[in-house]
Structure 1
Amino acid sequence: MTEPEFSIKKTLEEAETDAYLMTGNLHNSDIYYATHFLASDDFVYLQTGTGEEVLFISEMEKGRAEIESRVSNIKTTQDLGYREKIKEKKDASLAYAACISELLLREKVKKVSVPYDFPIFYSDSLKEAGFSIVPVKSPFQKIRSLKRPKEVEAIKYAQMAGEKAMGAAIAIIREAEERDGILYHEGEMLTGTKVNSAIDHRLLDFGCEAEETIVSCGKDTANPHGTTDGPLMANAPIILDIFPRSKKKRYFADMTRTVLHGEASKELKEMYESVLAAQEKGLQTVKPGIPASDVHNAVCDVFEKRGYDTYRSGSKVGFIHSTGHGVGLDVHELPGVGENGVLLEAGNVITIEPGLYYPETGGIRLEDMVLVTENGYENLTGLEKRFVL
């Protein structure tokens, strides 16, 4: 049998199991990656030690699955007697669990690897039916960290949309007028909510969406994920962090800019210059084969030499988070760019996003997204970095 496109044979051998089983829906990135199929209701993916792949779905999804799914072996609820099992079990969930049991029996599977987040109801049902269940770290997490050309193109598309939205947000802030320290745009008070709305509208123009976009101002920026719904202030830092996803292509991008309308204090200017210098050093460090911790430590070195506190030293102010993370079907995925020793590989898409945060002053963060290449990196973020507008 031909080895599947996404072989997880090594995981099954290490776990001493016959197959890997996962359930999910359109919110589960692993099952979409493995099948290239989406559905609002849960469905099942199975890969056996011999390389056989099975997609188990409801009967109504069969036609669409035959067109969209990369898995050709499709079994439906009707194939496995779902309706008859409902009559027998008097419960739809028990009937569905019985269908999964029958699927495993037909594939001659006895010991099953499942991801850590596998539903406990199905796990208990399978155990009662005589199967051995072994929770394992998802093998698809590592596979997904190495992006193929089509994935990179999908990420670039989302990034393009994100930059258009970021540009629109910055333009509104730049065009604003100050009245008693508060920003106004087109005669109305400019709020974080309004800027967030402008970002959403621009993303929709490109078929993208973003949840939990960060627009924060002033002391709210001292919290890395802080938000400001109300008025945006002049002479204060405004952090804009957008992580859009293409609704069709499903891939995310991620970027952050910090801007200020008015006059920046000497302290804020020095913070911005330090964050920019730390990011540039981090970017220069990126290349395949080095530990991600080298990038993180390079960023911390810059901050500490300039007298700022860092996460590395256990500080609760200053640089208080890791340097970055992988981006793909999830906005946060492998590899992490922090204190871990994982080696960067060509094909990783990661963020480099140092920041400084002080409660009495506010925060500054800059975030670019890069592709690790054979010789170094390609910066996928083209939007300029300008602090004072």
Structure 2
Amino acid sequence: MLQTKPNRANLPAQASSALRETLKADEALLLVSASEGDSNMLYAVGMFVPDPFIFFQHKKKKYVVMSDLEVDRAKRQAKVDQVLSLSDCQKKLRNTGNSSPTLIDVLDWLFRERGIRSLIVPANFSAFLMDQLRAKGFNVEIKRDPFFAERETKRAEEVRHITESLRVAKLGLEAGIRALKRAKPGRGGTLYLNGSKLTSERLKTAVNTRIMAQGWLPSHTIISSGNQCVDPHHEGTGPIKANTSIIFDIFPRSQKNGYFGDLSRTVVRGRASDRLKKIYATVQAGQKIGFDLIRDGVNGKEVHQKILDLFAREGFPTGQIKGRMQGFFHGTGHGLGLDIHEAPRIAPVDATLKTGHVVTVEPGLYYLGVGGVRLEDVVLVTANANKNLTDCPQFLEI
């Protein structure tokens, strides 16, 4: 695995001071994971590490325990109060007669030395390690996400990181659109580019290559067409035809700081049918409802329902049609940050939007025989309105 050396100034700030203040003298927060794949750990320590390590927070201090491979880098980059050497911990345990100290032995020694008896762990914490800790006499409490509640409210620096990832998503989209514009219809309406069939795979290569050239990582980029669009998470496969809907859903992640962008657009190479044009205009109107309503104090459930109501009034029902879900059967939006999907949600569940939330606004309509339309922008919730962080035009026909 290529390990990019992150810029400390670009990485997430320290974890919650609020949690620090509520911890009792014998309590600690505990994470044991790799920050490369665990957003809570990345948020806590502010550096990418590909292998699991120990993070704990006791009273007003944050600690990491690092292997010899990472300890010196952690001293430069980790946003913690103290970096402990795993080798030193193991050496001290061997001096007490433990010839082969394990992870649970190290944790037991660290916590007893500091008078810690109770631990707060995230929902994805290892069940095996939790059992071991309890067997050692520790009280272990599971805290559901958001483990760090303040992750929902983005600081100005985080908003900048997300905006930059949105810029890169737009660059990827533009690469795909350029390829589509050069494609010409052939037999059966299939699009051809440079003499070969234009497929979803070829378009994704163009999009993803452009994204990677910027230093971002694409992941499961969606470019689906026709009836594939009716499954909103279908990544797309095979030849693309003229005069049919093509959904781009692009969500690159920065290799510097871990923040995602998320952008969806729907286009047609050629001419859209009258029904597809109406669907597109209706989805745009639904997205405008989101833009008009989203602000501090609004319940996301109400925003979602008003969009559903509009779609129904315009003659676009949602439900089981011909044996499968059709219409608008996903949420209007979700939080965006170090995870592609995080709290809060704008969906059929209660969720109060607050100043500082960064959420997607992505209504869609999907019907067999027509395809689908999804339009997605990202907004920052403010006291009286919202600010659109996405700078990307919307157009149907190309």
**TM-score between the two structures when normalised by the length of structure 2:** 0.90
Shift >4 Å, 4+ stretches: 9-13, 82-91
Counterpart-to-counterpart distance in 2, 1:190 and 1:155: 31
User: Hey, what does 1:198 align to over in structure 2?
Assistant: 206
Which residue type is aligned with residue 250 of structure 1?
G
- Alpha carbons of 1:139 and 1:337: their partners in 2 closer, same or farther (altered >3 Å)? closer
User: Hey, what does 1:8 align to over in structure 2?
Assistant: 19
User: Hey, what does 2:39 align to over in structure 1?
Assistant: 29
Q: 2:186 aligns with which of 168, 176, 179?
A: 179
Counterpart-to-counterpart distance in 2, 1:352 and 1:4: 27
User: Hey, what does 2:172 align to over in structure 1?
Assistant: 165
Counterpart-to-counterpart distance in 1, 2:16 and 2:180: 47
User: Hey, what does 1:268 align to over in structure 2?
Assistant: 276
Q: 2:64 aligns with which of 55, 58, 64?
A: 55
User: Hey, what does 2:10 align to over in structure 1?
Assistant: none
Gaps of 5+ in 1: none
Counterpart-to-counterpart distance in 2, 1:168 and 1:161: 11
Which residue type is aligned with residue 306 of structure 1?
E
Which residue type is aligned with residue 53 of structure 2?
F
Secondary structure of the structure 1 residue equivalent to 2:326: coil
What fraction of aligned residue pairs are identical, expressed as a percent? Answer: 33
Counterpart-to-counterpart distance in 2, 1:338 and 1:85: 54
Give the CA deviation at 1:57: 1.5
User: Hey, what does 1:325 align to over in structure 2?
Assistant: 334
Q: Is the 8 A contact 2:26 2:115 kept in 1?
A: no
Counterpart-to-counterpart distance in 2, 1:259 and 1:86: 67
Give the CA deviation at 1:156: 1.0
User: Hey, what does 2:157 align to over in structure 1?
Assistant: 150
Which residue type is aligned with residue 316 of structure 1?
M
Counterpart-to-counterpart distance in 2, 1:380 and 1:86: 56
Secondary structure of the structure 1 residue equivalent to 2:330: coil
Which residue type is aligned with residue 132 of structure 1?
N
Give the CA deviation at 1:359: 2.3
Which residue type is aligned with residue 331 of structure 2?
S
Render the CA deviation track for 1:173-196: whole Å, top value 9, x for unaligned: 122101120011222211100100
Give the CA deviation at 1:381: 1.1
Gaps of 5+ in 2: 1-13
User: Hey, what does 2:81 align to over in structure 1?
Assistant: 72
Which residue type is aligned with residue 137 of structure 1?
R
Residues 1:115 and 2:122 aligned together: yes
Counterpart-to-counterpart distance in 2, 1:328 and 1:113: 23
Q: 1:370 aligns with which of 375, 379, 397?
A: 379
User: Hey, what does 1:99 align to over in structure 2?
Assistant: 106
Which residue type is aligned with residue 64 of structure 2?
L
Give the CA deviation at 1:112: 1.1
Render the CA deviation track for 1:29-85: whole Å, top value 9, x for unaligned: 10110111221111111112x222211221332211111111021212123126965
Q: 2:259 aligns with which of 251, 255, 259?
A: 251
Q: Is the 8 A contact 2:46 2:79 kept in 1?
A: yes
Render the CA deviation track for 1:273-296: whole Å, top value 9, x for unaligned: 111111111111111111111221
User: Hey, what does 2:5 align to over in structure 1?
Assistant: none
Q: Is the 8 A contact 2:244 2:272 kept in 1?
A: yes
Which residue type is aligned with residue 316 of structure 2?
Y
Residues 1:42 and 2:68 aligned together: no
- Please give the residue correspondences for 1:186-335 in structure 2 after superposition, counting only pairs within 5 Å: 186-310=194-318, 316-335=325-344
User: Hey, what does 1:379 align to over in structure 2?
Assistant: 388
Give the CA deviation at 1:10: 7.0
Counterpart-to-counterpart distance in 2, 1:308 and 1:142: 37
Counterpart-to-counterpart distance in 2, 1:348 and 1:144: 9
Counterpart-to-counterpart distance in 2, 1:283 and 1:255: 15
The more displaced of 74-83 and 101-110 is: 74-83
Which residue type is aligned with residue 256 of structure 1?
S
Q: 2:348 aligns with which of 325, 334, 339?
A: 339
Secondary structure of the structure 1 residue equivalent to 2:56: strand
- Alpha carbons of 1:39 and 1:128: their partners in 2 closer, same or farther (altered >3 Å)? same
- Equivalenced residue count is 380
- Alpha carbons of 1:184 and 1:124: their partners in 2 closer, same or farther (altered >3 Å)? same
Secondary structure of the structure 2 residue equivalent to 1:80: helix
Which residue type is aligned with residue 246 of structure 1?
S
Render the CA deviation track for 1:133-189: whole Å, top value 9, x for unaligned: 111214534211111111111111111111011011112112210112001122221
Which residue type is aligned with residue 259 of structure 1?
V
The more displaced of 3-12 and 252-261 is: 3-12
Counterpart-to-counterpart distance in 2, 1:12 and 1:320: 41
Counterpart-to-counterpart distance in 2, 1:47 and 1:218: 51
Counterpart-to-counterpart distance in 1, 2:233 and 2:331: 14
The more displaced of 35-44 and 327-336 is: 35-44
- Alpha carbons of 1:173 and 1:266: their partners in 2 closer, same or farther (altered >3 Å)? same
Give the CA deviation at 1:90: 7.8
Counterpart-to-counterpart distance in 1, 2:41 and 2:166: 24
Render the CA deviation track for 1:83-123: whole Å, top value 9, x for unaligned: 965997787xx701210111111221111111111111211
Which residue type is aligned with residue 28 of structure 1?
D
Counterpart-to-counterpart distance in 2, 1:203 and 1:304: 37
Counterpart-to-counterpart distance in 2, 1:90 and 1:200: 50
Counterpart-to-counterpart distance in 2, 1:133 and 1:193: 47
Secondary structure of the structure 2 residue equivalent to 1:21: strand
Secondary structure of the structure 2 residue equivalent to 1:382: coil
User: Hey, what does 1:18 align to over in structure 2?
Assistant: 27
- Alpha carbons of 1:10 and 1:289: their partners in 2 closer, same or farther (altered >3 Å)? farther
